[in-house]
Amino acid sequence: MTSDPRDTRTVFWDNGQVCMIDQRLIPFEFKINHYDDYAQVADAIRTMVVRGAPAIGAAAAYGIALAARISRATDVASLQADLREASDVLAKSRPTAVNLFWAINRMNARAQELIAGGADADSVRAGLLEEANKVADEDIEINQRMGAYGAALVPDGATIIHHCNTGALATVGWGTALGVIRSAHAAGKHIHVLVDETRPRLQGARLTSWELQNEGIPHTVIVDGASGHYLRRTKVDLCVVGADRIAANGDTANKIGTYNLAVVAKANNVPFYVVAPFSTIDLSIAHGDLIPIEEREMDEVLRVNGERIAPVDVQAGNPAFDVTPHEYITAIVTERGVIYPPFDVNLRKASE
């Protein structure tokens, strides 16, 4: 592991432990947490030590590898039972990001494949760690491919609105929507990013701004409610966002406030791009109304940095995500290329 935050993977394996950048502390402190039990990994996902769909997927993959490592099973049947228990615990950590379930399923499928091939318990353990490392390595490669596809959509001199955090911190490395911005910057394009602060946890103001500052990319933090003003009164060239789950028809679940931004972008004829790996696309779900939306604790809305900002006994709604209907989305940038409407046809074509 490097001491440079820019080169540190968000999630990685070190000396038999799952390690994660504690994103709750950024930008004020850069700290690596170490976990030696899969239940701790699940709690880290739930409490948002790690967040962002691809990063959650990698954390879950390492959580399964860790479950195999700490299992006392000496035979594959007992090991499978322990893996089923770990899978259940990890799956309950957060409901919306499909990468979580994709990673758990991939790891269990690999275990089954190894067992079918005659592997003993220790060989399954080794194979699962290798698979988790592949999930992490592939994530960075995929993000860089998406970055290249997306950067081609960014004109030189562009002003870009970005919502939440979709950078290296939301993935294992490089980023999805923010990866597009990084790739455009690396290609020499002169860009400026308007960073939605992203209430209630301020992932834009805390995390995206921190990443952009580290990369030397010009940006301005704006309150979420100001995006309409900037879209109408200034020259905004495009909006880019990530995704936590994309339905078969292109409806996209992403951080709360994404739907608002998409509607106002369309009203002002500004392209709205979703950037996500194919592991985020859930073709088993027909449309976005079927995507489960996580409701988080009221205190995330009623308090900022532990200080209450609303009267005592006031109730708060805190959906972590909303669903943007596909008609507001210009295109979906994936590692397989840029996918345009009709999404119900072209997402399936790209998956074949």
pLDDT tens, position by position, 199-233 = 999 999 999 999 999 999 999 999 999 999 999 99
Contact 174, 186 (CB under 8 A): no
pLDDT digits 0-9 by tens, 119-131? 999 999 999 999 9
pLDDT band at 83 (very low <50, low <70, confident <90, very high): very high
CATH number, domain at 268?
Answer: 3.40.50.10470
pLDDT at 61: 98
- Number of domains present in the structure of the chain: 2
Query: Do 137 and 159 belong to one domain?
Result: no
* 186 and 90 within one domain: no
Q: Which pLDDT value is given to residue 288?
A: 98
Exposed/middle/buried for residue 279 (C-beta within 10 Å: 0-12, 13-18, 19+): buried
| Token code pair at residue 82 | 């322990």
Q: Under DSSP, is residue 303 helix (H, G, I), strand (E, B) or coil?
A: strand
Q: What is the spatial distance between Cα 8 and Cα 172, in angstroms, rounded to a whole number?
A: 9
**Residue in 139, 196, 224, 244 annotated catalytic:** 244
Does residue 202 sit in the same domain as residue 167?
Answer: yes
**Pair 214, 80 in one domain:** no
- Say what the pLDDT of residue 1 is: 43
33 and 174 inside one domain: no
Domain span holding position 79: 5-144
Q: Which residues pair with 246 in a beta bridge?
A: 252, 281
User: Of 144, 177, 199, which residue is a domain's last?
Assistant: 144
Please state, rounded to an integer, the average pLDDT across all residues of the chain.
96
Say what the pLDDT of residue 207 is. 98
Predicted structure pTM score? 0.95
How sure is the predictor about 7, in pLDDT bands with cuts at 50, 70 and 90?
Answer: confident
Contacts of 240 (CB under 8 A, 6+ apart): 150, 160, 161, 162, 166, 177, 178, 180, 181, 273, 274, 275
What pLDDT, on the 0 to 100 scale, is given for residue 4?
65
Q: Where are the alpha helices (DSSP H) in the chain?
A: 38-46, 53-70, 76-91, 98-116, 121-151, 177-186, 203, 209-215, 227-233, 258-267, 299-302, 343-351
Whether the predicted pLDDT of 3 surpasses 80: no
**204-223 burial: b if 16+ Cβ within 10 Å, else e:** bbbbbbbbbeebebebebbe
Q: Residues of the chain with pLDDT > 70: what percent?
A: 99
Q: Based on the fold, state whether residues 195 and 246 are members of the same structural domain.
A: yes
CATH number at residue 19: 1.20.120.420
Interval 264-300: pLDDT, tens: 999 999 999 999 999 999 999 999 999 999 999 999 9
Last residue of a domain, one of 144, 159, 177: 144
Confidence of residue 2 (pLDDT cuts 50, 70, 90): very low
Q: Are residues 266 and 235 in the same domain?
A: yes
Q: How confident is residue 36, by pLDDT bands cut at 50, 70 and 90?
A: very high
The predicted model gives 21-29 an average pLDDT of 97
Same domain, 166 and 137: no
Q: Which residue is associated with the tokens 């954390």?
A: 59
Q: Are residues 15 and 117 in the same domain?
A: yes
Are residue 125 and residue 228 in the same domain, yes or no?
Answer: no
CA 28 – CA 30 distance, rounded (Å): 7
Residue 251 bears catalytic tag: no
Q: What is the tens place of the pLDDT at every residue in 237-274?
A: 999 999 999 999 999 999 999 999 999 999 999 999 99
Mean pLDDT calculated for residue range 57-83: 98
How sure is the predictor about 305, in pLDDT bands with cuts at 50, 70 and 90?
A: confident
**Mean of the pLDDT values across residues 50-70?**
97
Asked whether the CA dihedral 116, 119, 120, 125 is positive or negative, the reply is negative
The pLDDT-based confidence of 190 (bands split at 50, 70, 90) is: very high
3-state secondary structure of 31: coil
Burial 118-157 (b: 16+ CB within 10 A, else e): ebebeebbebbbebbbebbebbbebbbbbbbbbbebbeee
User: Which residues neighbour 87 within 8 Å (Cβ) at sequence distance 6 or greater?
Assistant: 64, 104, 107, 108
What is the per-residue pLDDT for 5? 72
Domain boundary among 144, 167, 185: 144
* Model confidence pLDDT, tens digit, residues 332-349: 999 999 999 999 999 999
Same domain, 15 and 89: yes
Q: What are the pLDDT digits (tens) for 107-153?
A: 999 999 999 999 999 999 999 999 999 999 999 999 999 999 999 99
Q: How many CB atoms lie within 10 A of CB 263?
A: 15
Residue 98 shares a structural domain with residue 164: no
